[in-house]
Amino acid sequence: MTTEEIPVLAQFGLTGEQAEIRALARKIAQDRFKPRSLEWEETGKFPWENMEILAKAGLLGASVPEEYGGAGGTWLDAALILEQLGSACYVTAMAALGELGVQIRAIAAYGTEEQKRRFLPDVAAGKRICAVSMTEADAGSDIWAMRTKAVVDGDDVVVNGGKVLCSRADVAGLFIVYVRWSDDPGTRPIGAVLIERGTPGFTISPGRKTLGGEDLYDLTFENCRIPSSNVLVREDGFRRMLTAFNGQRCLNASISVGIAQGAQDAAVEYVKTRSQGGGLLGDHQGIRWMLADNEVEIQAARQLVWRAAANAAQAFPSRHEAAVAKVNANEMALRVTDRVLQIFGGNGWVKEMPAERYLRWARYGPLGGGTPQIQRNAIARELLK
């Protein structure tokens, strides 16, 4: 039995239906995705077939409302699924993050009826990938410094500017692009538009290779003209779009929990078979304590993520709870995966062995979806207000 499968603790706080979703996601992730996780990283290919498997199982549409073809699930449902994907295959977890995360929830919460009907059913079916792009060369953590500009021109909107570090731009059919509606300073002029792949004036750079295996892309908009029906959020919408990101923070944190759990499961198996110093590795107290420390940290982090996600229900999680869960889970996964690599010794450094990949995967969490430094700023702001 792996630590993940200890029944009572693992099911704490879940409904029967959520426990089933979790078990289904785990089975698919372990049986179908884990064996090829390194292959997806090495080829850099988008895991379309894994997305199809998730769509057929009804898991990919967990965040899409039922009337648009999805399962109408909660944030906790999405977190449970992504934790399992994170424990098995980072590339697949990152591929599914958009469909389970902020992109889809933002369209479902703020989109027009026509936008929801046009875009959401294909997302739930795994046929259309939706990317989100806010980061710019000079606007990362300081996102309100973004300069990509949208100007209304008759029935159209014309977009000019550039974005960087966009995930999944090679395969996305739809992009949620954060724009500035005027040059006024601050967040008030910031909103978002929907731009479809192939729109004239919209170009995507070649992929930039990354530590995690998935490529990242730069986007350029030169007099890119879209119909005004593609406006998702007008001026004064930035706060609403940021609220949506609180959900993304929970999901990013749940992937971190999954990565840590996957690494821990690998270590538990390894120490039962590797002999050193006249006994199994698992007989040495120094090793056992590392495993115990991992267990304590993983379980605590999972509960914070579940709390933040569960408290949100169908709306968005709270800024404070999401930030607390994210900082803790991201940093916990770095500590756990580092200990696991140490437990594997020299074998931990070897590609075919599992430890090194978990350590690399864990490094994403504190970079995406708002860094721990920015989350700490938000936590302290809440405490001191």
Ligand X SMILES: Cc1cc2nc3c(=O)[nH]c(=O)nc-3n(C[C@H](O)[C@H](O)[C@H](O)COP(=O)(O)OP(=O)(O)OC[C@H]3O[C@@H](n4cnc5c(N)ncnc54)[C@H](O)[C@@H]3O)c2cc1C
Name the one residue in this structure whose structure tokens are 């098995």.
Answer: 88
Interface pick for ligand X out of 140, 162, 201, 207 (rule CB under 6 A): 140
Q: Is 261 in the site for ligand X (CB under 6 A)?
A: no
Interface pick for ligand X out of 167, 243, 248, 294 (rule CB under 6 A): 167
In angstroms, what is the minimal distance from the CB of 172 to ligand X?
Answer: 9
Q: Is 205 in the site for ligand X (CB under 6 A)?
A: no
CA distances from 84 to 32, 303, 314, 380 (A): 12, 15, 21, 31
- From the list 363, 346, 339, 238, the residue with the least C-alpha distance to 289 is 339
Q: Is 24 in the site for ligand X (CB under 6 A)?
A: no
By three-state DSSP, how is residue 317 classified?
coil
Q: Is 374 in the site for ligand X (CB under 6 A)?
A: yes
The answer to whether 188 and 238 have CB atoms below 8 angstroms apart is yes
In angstroms, what is the minimal distance from the CB of 296 to ligand X?
Answer: 27
| CA gap 273, 51 in Å, rounded | 35
Interface pick for ligand X out of 91, 134, 177, 271 (rule CB under 6 A): 134
Three-state helix/strand/coil letters over 217-275: EEEEEEEEEEEHHHEEECCCCHHHHHHHHHHHHHHHHHHHHHHHHHHHHHHHHHHCCCE
Q: Is 133 in the site for ligand X (CB under 6 A)?
A: yes
Q: Is 172 in the site for ligand X (CB under 6 A)?
A: no
Give the residue closest to ligand X by C-beta.
Answer: 140
Q: Is 252 in the site for ligand X (CB under 6 A)?
A: no
Q: Is 209 in the site for ligand X (CB under 6 A)?
A: no
Binding residues among 47-86 for ligand X as defined by CB under 6 A: none
In sequence order, what E strands does the chain have?
129-133, 149-153, 156-167, 172-180, 190-196, 202-204, 216-227, 231-233, 275-276, 279-280
Q: Is 276 in the site for ligand X (CB under 6 A)?
A: no
Piece of the chain touching ligand X by CB under 6 A; list 20-28, 49-57, 210-218, 344-352? 210-218
- Interface residues with ligand X (CB under 6 A) are 131-135, 140-141, 165-167, 210, 212, 216, 364, 367-368, 371, 373-374, 377
